[in-house]
Amino acid sequence: MYVYGKNTLKEIINSGYPLKHIFFSNSKAERGKLSELIDFVESLGYSFSFTSNEALEKMVFTNKHQGVVIDIGEEFNYSNVEILDSKKELFVVILDQIHDPHNFGAIVRSSVAAGVDAIIIPKDNAVDVTPIVVKASAGQIFKIPIIKVTNISRTIEILKKKNVWVYGADSLGKPYYQIDYSGSVCIVFGNEGEGIRKNVKNHCDELISIPMLNNVESLNVSVSAGIILFEIKKNKNIV
């Protein structure tokens, strides 16, 4: 998969995520702006080469590559639920069938900033990690495990056995700011149109909502996630 952008490259390097090759623009205009980054990449011994802006554009289907395209291998490096075993107190996010890559990316970005330990997504009927998701995450996706599972309900039951309290974000829930989030918590956010699937909702310990005015029925899911995750960060006093 080809991902792009200067910040994305920096985050990949900082996180130690394995990358295969870096393509830099060979245009004079770009190379001046990139010289520091190229020196840095060279000093670390990464494999890189130069190619035209047009070739870069063809690789990532956008001209917003900033002269940097990164080959991170066939598929994104997903994690397994077992990696959660090593941590004592968990703060986990489950995304139940999110479809919009911009929403997924923005939630990843917010999750890293709020101190979330991992994000769990389903194998089917959801957006995977794509170049747009990586870009929308501002490269933050390389700092957090993305766990792909076959069955969200079963995963919730596994989390419950680890003493994780599982909240579902739903308009009929208790106001999100009337909750004590101490201990291990997981928040489930549902699909853009439909919310959390009924069957998944039934597995949650408790539902939480964001009270709204003026008969607004819902917020953009990445906004809802930001509001709730940062309330939890504040509540847990994670610094």
Residue ranges binding a copy of itself (CB under 8 A) = 14, 102, 106, 109-110, 112-115, 136, 138, 140, 143, 177, 210-220, 222-227, 230, 233-234, 238-239
The token pair at 13 is: 């390097």
Q: Across-strand partners of 49?
A: 23
Do 211 and 170 contact (CB within 8 A), yes or no?
Answer: no
Closer to a copy of itself by CB, 106 or 147: give it: 106
Closer to a copy of itself by CB, 29 or 212: give it: 212
Cα 226 to Cα 101, 103, 129, 201: the distances in Å are 16, 11, 19, 20
Closer to a copy of itself by CB, 51 or 235: give it: 235
What would the DSSP string read from start to end of 192-232? TTTBS-HHHHTT-SEEEE---STT-----HHHHHHHHHHHH
The token pair at 109 is: 């970005």
What would the DSSP string read from start to end of 39-106? HHHHHTT--EEEE-HHHHHHHHTSS-STTEEEE--SS---B-GGGGGG-SS-EEEEEES---HHHHHH
Closer to a copy of itself by CB, 61 or 177: give it: 177
Closer to a copy of itself by CB, 162 or 236: give it: 236
Which residue do the tokens 């700092």 mark?
143
Residue 184 CB, shortest distance to a copy of itself, in Å, is 17
Residue 89 CB, shortest distance to a copy of itself, in Å, is 15
Residue 58 CB, shortest distance to a copy of itself, in Å, is 24
Residue 232 CB, shortest distance to a copy of itself, in Å, is 12
Residue 55 CB, shortest distance to a copy of itself, in Å, is 25
Residue 233 CB, shortest distance to a copy of itself, in Å, is 8
Closer to a copy of itself by CB, 29 or 238: give it: 238
d(CA 140, CA 223): 17
